[in-house]
């Protein structure tokens, strides 16, 4: 092989904004809305409407992710330029951008809501990097679109900080997610009634530029299906299989029924993977409506999300969902399954016909498989959090049947019986000496676990006994792994993060940012880049929630107002 050519093709040369290469395939290949005026309407027969971002009074940069910029080769200099701020606040369009908003519907809190669409998201275009990878650039909060219904198309600083930080934090945790390139202030104010209690007040307007290989949602397919426009559904299914899923379907130009069924299986697997990660790191999405489900299995639409602090599987941060708790932590896998069922119903007409119900059966089997796979993978994930590998089947039968499942179940019960910080529990457990020849003594773990409880006075003798017994079982189970304490700790710390975007940490950074001090955002962004590694001088970002934050808005509960 010619050495020079090899090095030229693999090196990525940083480029400037004006050199970005756009190829707007979505709008080129899919039907669009012929109406180009920007007013609210029902849009039929189309997947998008062209719309321009609003001009703002005085845009300025709050935060920027150079790692996201590098996804599409943008140089660091360009990322710090004035033009960058203008472009990513919606005030300047680059020549090949074709801004548009997407048309979709969705089930909200279990009910069909009809047309929703990008009410405040505007795609600038699809940029192709020097390796031929494609990234959509999308502004959130850049003004009204045909899908804004009766809202203003804008976003405020607090929700934009939350979206920006969490997208990046999730990425570095290894959770599939949309990314965030930039966070800008618009210079305009936006009026919001944060608690929906009649106390509206002006807040700082902001725009986040989100980046993803695709922003297609389950709801994009659902809307035309709900209107009986199966041809339109087929167009997007074919488009998605041949573009977003081209790696899995190389060379396919016209997907067959079998391809569609295989594609659905892949969507189901990706969705499972995403939710499993959420459960691993203690993330609660908060609004798992079908319009917030990415077809690529990416975490999308960071609204009233939250992180479990004390391990409470019934917790949801979303005040709008406080009574039903449909989207509570423990319910997320079932909701993912329910959402996949809605997607299956949407594509059923494409895979079924009068003479055969083979297609329906495959869809049903995929859904059943989701449930089975989830259970099995959840157990493996929980074991991995403990530094354990699943027992081989024969061994599992020899050891009491299902003993690992019981070990996990008992642990999760224990974590709930006294308010215990989930994140700290796993990090501290990694420190406990489970190999001592003297056996497990309370002295060997009490001080290590001392700081993980929110209400230490809840600790009873019975709890202490149960904890001790559980740790003894755990220590015994660890024997079968043949690991030293140090090895086990390394394995556990690679899967259990030390730093997560605790609700009160975001709120503290937001409080500062609202006063013009962005250092809190920057500090979190930096630390959350290596969430599994202890960082010097950053222990204050790994602490459990302080008591003042227990009931403070933004720290424990969030409304959808953003
Ligand atoms: P979400 O709960 O963020 O997924 O939003 C549900 C729907 O409401 C989507 O169609 C959003 O685009 C739309 N939406 C939310 N906030 C606004 C806003 N401030 N202006 C216009 N549309 C909005
Ligand atoms: Mg949404």
Which ligand 1 atom sits closest to the C-alpha of 152? Answer: 20
Compute how many other C-beta atoms are within 10 angstroms of the C-beta atom of residue 21: 14
Residue closest by Cα to atom 4 of ligand 1: 292
Centroid of ligand 2 to alpha carbon of 293 (angstroms): 9
Nearby residues of 405 by Cβ (< 8 Å), 6 or more positions away = 379
**CA–CA gap between residue 504 and residue 501 (Å, rounded):** 8
Which ligand 1 atom sits closest to the C-alpha of 291? Answer: 4
Six-digit token pair at 480? 């079968």
Compute how many other C-beta atoms are within 10 angstroms of the C-beta atom of residue 550: 13
Q: Helices 230-242 and 257-281: crossing angle, nearest 10°?
A: 70
Of 54, 119, 285, best ligand 1 pocket probe by most atoms within 8 Å of the beta carbon: 119
Nearby residues of 536 by Cβ (< 8 Å), 6 or more positions away = none
The DSSP-derived string for 406-462 is: HHHHHHHHHHHHTTBBHHHHHHHHTTS----TT---GGGTHHHHGGGBS-GGG--HH
Ligand located closest to 561 CA: 1
Centroid of ligand 2 to alpha carbon of 303 (angstroms): 8
Q: Report the SS3 class of residue 495.
A: coil
**CA–CA gap between residue 200 and residue 390 (Å, rounded):** 53
Centroid of ligand 1 to alpha carbon of 562 (angstroms): 9
Of 151, 190, 285, best ligand 1 pocket probe by most atoms within 8 Å of the beta carbon: 151
Q: Which positions of the chain have pLDDT values less than 50?
A: 1-8
CA 398, 402, 403, 404 dihedral sign is: positive
| Residues 258/366, Cβ–Cβ less than 8 Å | no
Ligand located closest to 215 CA: 2
Which ligand 1 atom sits closest to the C-alpha of 118? Answer: 12
Q: What is the pLDDT of residue 194?
A: 85
Q: Which residues pair with 142 in a beta bridge?
A: 154
Which ligand 1 atom sits closest to the C-alpha of 116? Answer: 10
Centroid of ligand 2 to alpha carbon of 516 (angstroms): 28
Which ligand 1 atom sits closest to the C-alpha of 121? Answer: 12
Of 120, 285, 287, best ligand 1 pocket probe by most atoms within 8 Å of the beta carbon: 120
Q: Which residues are known catalytic residues?
A: 291
- pTM (predicted TM-score): 0.96
Q: What is the pLDDT of residue 91?
A: 98
Q: Which position has the token pair 């007040």?
A: 201
Which ligand 1 atom sits closest to the C-alpha of 104? Answer: 10
Centroid of ligand 2 to alpha carbon of 33 (angstroms): 21
Residue closest by Cα to atom 19 of ligand 1: 153
Centroid of ligand 1 to alpha carbon of 104 (angstroms): 12
**CA–CA gap between residue 40 and residue 393 (Å, rounded):** 58
- Ligand 1 cavity residues, CB under 6 Å: 116-120, 147-148, 151-154, 287, 291-292, 301, 303, 560
The DSSP-derived string for 88-146 is: HTTS---TT---EEE--EEEETTEEEEE---SSEEEEEEEE-TTS-EEEEEEESB---T
**CA–CA gap between residue 541 and residue 503 (Å, rounded):** 11
Residue closest by Cα to atom 7 of ligand 1: 116
Ligand located closest to 147 CA: 1
- 222-243 per-position pLDDT tens digit: 999 999 999 999 999 999 999 9
- 70-94 per-position pLDDT tens digit: 999 999 999 889 999 999 999 999 9
Ligand located closest to 103 CA: 1
**CA–CA gap between residue 48 and residue 279 (Å, rounded):** 34
Q: Report the SS3 class of residue 169.
A: helix
Centroid of ligand 1 to alpha carbon of 148 (angstroms): 7
- 124-139 per-position pLDDT tens digit: 999 999 999 999 999 9
* Greatest Cα-to-Cα distance within the chain, rounded to the nearest angstrom: 78
Six-digit token pair at 395? 């061994």
Centroid of ligand 2 to alpha carbon of 17 (angstroms): 28
Residue closest by Cα to atom 14 of ligand 1: 119
Q: What is the pLDDT of residue 401?
A: 57
| Residues 361/386, Cβ–Cβ less than 8 Å | no
Q: Please state the domain extents for the chain.
A: 17-226, 230-385, 416-482, 503-549
**CA–CA gap between residue 489 and residue 483 (Å, rounded):** 9
Work out the burial of residue 43: count CB atoms within 10 Å of its CB; fewer than 13 is exposed, 13-18 middle, 19 or more buried. Answer: buried
């Amino acid at each position: 092989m010619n050495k020079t050519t090899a090095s030229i093709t693999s090196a990525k040369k940083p480029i400037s904004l004006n050199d970005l290469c756009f190829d707007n395939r979505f709008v080129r290949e899919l039907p669009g809305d012929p109406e180009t005026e920007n007013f609210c309407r029902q849009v039929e027969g189309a997947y998008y409407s062209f719309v321009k971002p609003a001009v703002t009074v005085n845009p300025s940069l709050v935060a920027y992710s150079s790692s996201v910029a590098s996804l599409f080769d943008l140089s660091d200099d360009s990322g710090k330029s004035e033009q960058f701020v203008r472009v990513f606040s919606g005030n300047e369009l680059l020549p090949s951008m074709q801004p548009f908003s997407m048309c979709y519907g969705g089930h909200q809190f279990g009910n069909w809501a009809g047309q929703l669409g990008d009410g405040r998201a505007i795609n600038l275009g699809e940029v192709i990097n020097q390796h031929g990878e494609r990234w959509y650039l999308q502004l959130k909060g850049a003004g009204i679109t045909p899908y804004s219904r009766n809202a203003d198309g804008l976003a405020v600083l607090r929700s934009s900080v939350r979206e920006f930080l969490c997208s990046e934090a999730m990425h570095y945790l290894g959770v599939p997610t949309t990314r965030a390139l930039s966070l800008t202030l618009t210079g305009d104010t936006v009026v919001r009634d944060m608690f929906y209690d009649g106390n509206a007040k002006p807040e700082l307007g902001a725009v986040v530029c989100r980046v993803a290989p695709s922003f297609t949602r389950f709801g994009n397919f659902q809307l035309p299906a709900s209107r009986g426009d199966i041809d339109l559904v087929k167009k997007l299914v074919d488009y998605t299989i041949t573009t977003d899923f081209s790696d899995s379907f190389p060379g396919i130009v016209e997907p067959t029924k079998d391809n569609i069924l295989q594609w659905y299986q892949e969507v189901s697997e990706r969705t499972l993977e995403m939710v499993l990660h959420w459960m691993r790191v203690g993330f609660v999405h908060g609004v798992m409506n079908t319009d917030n489900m990415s077809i690529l299995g990416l975490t999308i639409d960071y609204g009233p999300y939250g992180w479990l602090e004390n391990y409470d599987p019934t917790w949801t941060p979303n005040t709008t969902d406080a009574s039903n708790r449909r989207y509570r932590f423990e319910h997320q896998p079932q909701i993912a399954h329910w959402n996949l069922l809605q997607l299956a119903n949407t594509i059923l007409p494409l895979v079924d016909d009068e003479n055969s119900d083979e297609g329906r059966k495959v869809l049903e089997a995929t859904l059943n498989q989701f449930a089975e796979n989830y259970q099995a993978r959840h157990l493996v994930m929980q074991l991995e959090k403990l530094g354990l590998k699943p027992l081989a089947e024969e061994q599992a039968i020899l050891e009491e049947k299902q003993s690992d499942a019981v070990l996990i179940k008992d642990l999760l019960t224990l974590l709930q019986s006294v308010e215990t910080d989930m994140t700290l529990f796993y990090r501290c457990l990694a420190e406990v000496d489970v190999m001592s020849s003297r056996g497990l003594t309370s002295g060997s773990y009490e001080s290590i676990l001392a700081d993980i409880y929110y209400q230490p006075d809840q600790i009873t003798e019975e709890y202490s006994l149960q904890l001790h017994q559980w740790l003894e079982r755990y220590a015994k189970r660890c024997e079968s792994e043949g690991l030293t304490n140090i090895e086990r700790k390394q394995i556990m710390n690679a899967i259990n993060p030390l730093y997560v975007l605790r609700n009160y940490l975001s709120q503290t950074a937001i409080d500062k940012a609202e006063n013009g001090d962005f250092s809190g955002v920057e500090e979190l962004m930096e630390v959350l880049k290596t969430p599994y590694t202890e960082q010097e001088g950053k222990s204050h970002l790994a602490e459990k929630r302080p008591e003042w934050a227990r009931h403070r808005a933004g720290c424990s509960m969030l409304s959808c107002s953003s």
